[in-house]
Amino acid sequence: MEPKGSESSLVYLAHGAQPYVQSLLRIVAAFMFILAGTSKLFAFPAGIPPHGGTVLLFSQLGVGAVLETFGGALLLLGLFTRPVAFILAGEMAVAYFQFHFPGNFWPTLNGGVPAVLYCFLWLYFSAAGAGPWSVDALRKK
The string of pLDDT tens digits covering residues 63-89 is: 999 999 999 999 999 999 999 999 999
Query: Is a pLDDT exceeding 60 seen at residue 6?
Result: no
Query: Is a pLDDT exceeding 80 seen at residue 16?
Result: yes
CA-CA-CA-CA torsion for 119, 123, 128, 129, nearest 10 degrees?
Answer: 80
Answer whether 20's CB lies under 8 Å from 131's CB: yes
Q: Can you give the pLDDT at residue 18?
A: 94
> pTM value?
0.89
DSSP 8-state class, residue 97: I
* Mean pLDDT of the residues in the chain: 93
Q: Give 107-129 pLDDT, tens digit per residue.
A: 999 999 999 999 999 999 999 99
